[in-house]
A and B are shown apart, each in its own frame.
Chain A
């Protein structure tokens, strides 16, 4: 077992398998599954113009997000990763099964904290609210991103590089977590057997995460594993029927409005806040924080 886990792997093979699991999953699972969801909507007579336009807006936000991510990646992020790797890292880890498993699990753990931060600080929610603002729940919602969604994860993946993981492996692991997350955005699947529901994040757990019902707020942040939520006190099972969306509905399928509404609401809030120190605090305090009141949650 030790020999198997520590046996050095060839980068080209690892890259190949990650490409099958990451990039190609869009073709062999996500797209067919979305088609299945559309058939289900049609069968249930829920396929509406609003749903189609909402899905198109989701795709638009993904395009904008992806553009920002590519520009950032080319300009700074990959360079920063390699610079940290060369200068501020523990001894570099070999490429073997143990490293890959650890890296994926740590990327998942980093995702938990990054996701939690996106919900619990003002600037995080200003961008992440875009993802939650759809009143629908299907695979296209997984592609609904806000303008700063590409920036926040960097803060949480750099520590992985500092732990000695190769930056490329970290990036591949992060994408793998995101792809797994994508598959959770569906109402087609009910609940899995209890052991699976106990360990893994499932569509049921993620429906809760997207719920605007009060008891579902800020719950189930996990990516692949739900045990992080159980361990860190943010788990909530799906009991009550989920009502999707945010507490202050957007009521728009305009892609531009969808993409920027979180930031514009945040800047409107900043205008109302008096004093520079309070304005700065609004970036890092919970989203519902105001200087003259305590947090609701």
Chain B
């Protein structure tokens, strides 16, 4: 068989198969866009939500890849990347921890960024990887949460569920010790 025939046939195969994948990704994104257009515009949202949406975009400039340069700048990526605050009330710690979520490879990692006590005083935290979120579908994901309890550290599988554009819930159950946290975007 002539080389030109081989090249032509191979190109057709690659074009069809890659085109098939791109078409269905595009179809999905178009469907999402149509769905989003049916939802209220940002300007029609309550001011608090509005601030958070834009506030989030401002915060993402601190992440590894600026959003406007991120080739994977999809809504689900934009949603997770940024700073998040979680309130804790336990015997060991009462206050809040601010985390920074960054996209690293195909996963999202949350690093401790700042501690806030119940009186509102805050201090910068040592950057410790506390949560790894596997690729995010847009509404839910599974992850690995690193928690400390009575001086011991544990890695616990957790479930992430989007509550709104500015919050998600993180729930886990570790041998009967279960909890659900609400992460709020800063």
Contact = CB atoms under 8 A, between A and B. Distances in A.
A113 interface: yes
Nearest to A113: B10
A10 B141 contact: yes
A6 B21 CA distance: 9
B137 A99 contact: no
A232 B9 contact: yes
Contacts of A11: 106, 134-135
Interface in A44-59: none
B1 interface: yes
Contacts of B106: 11, 166-168
Contact of A6 (B25, B135, B140): B25
B20 interface: yes
Contacts of B6: 232-233
- For the complex, would chain A's binding face be called helix, strand, loop or mixed by DSSP majority? helix
Contact of B18 (A106, A167, A168, A233): A106
B142 A12 contact: yes
B14 A106 contact: yes
B24 A96 contact: yes
Interface residues of B, number: 29
Interface string A58-93: 000000000000000000000000100010011111
B25 A94 contact: yes
Contacts of B22: 90-91, 93, 164
Contact of B31 (A6, A9, A93, A103): A6
Contacts of A10: 134-135, 137, 140-142
Interface string B121-161: 00000000000001101101110000000000000000000
Interface in A193-216: none
B27 interface: yes
Contacts of A90: 18, 22
Contact of A8 (B9, B10, B21, B138): B138
Contact of A7 (B9, B14, B28, B134): B28
A94 B138 CA distance: 11
B134 A12 contact: yes
A133 B72 CA distance: 46
Which one of B21, B23, B28, B138 has the highest number of Cβ atoms from chain A below 10 Å of its Cβ?
B21
Contacts of A8: 28, 137-138
A5 interface: yes
Contacts of B9: 231-232
A2 B21 contact: no
B58 interface: no
Contacts of B1: 232-233
B24 A2 contact: yes
Interface residues of A, number: 40
A95 interface: yes
Nearest to B76: A8
B38 interface: no
Nearest to B139: A8
B20 A98 contact: yes
B24 A5 contact: yes
Interface in A97-113: 97-99, 101-103, 105-106, 109, 113
Nearest to A4: B24
A165 interface: yes
Contacts of B29: 94
B71 interface: yes
A168 to B, nearest CB: 6
Interface in A101-136: 101-103, 105-106, 109, 113
Contacts of B18: 90, 102, 106, 163-164
A4 to B, nearest CB: 10
A89 B28 CA distance: 19
B135 A102 contact: no
Contacts of B163: none
Nearest to B23: A98
Contacts of A167: 106
Interface of B: 1, 6, 9-10, 13-14, 17-18, 20-25, 27-29, 31, 71-72, 105-106, 134-135, 137-138, 140-142
Given A2-B24, A10-B134, A106-B14, 18 more contacts: A6-B31, A10-B137, A12-B134, A89-B71, A90-B18, A90-B22, A93-B22, A94-B25, A94-B29, A98-B20, A102-B20, A106-B18, A109-B10, A113-B10, A164-B22, A164-B25, A231-B13, A232-B1
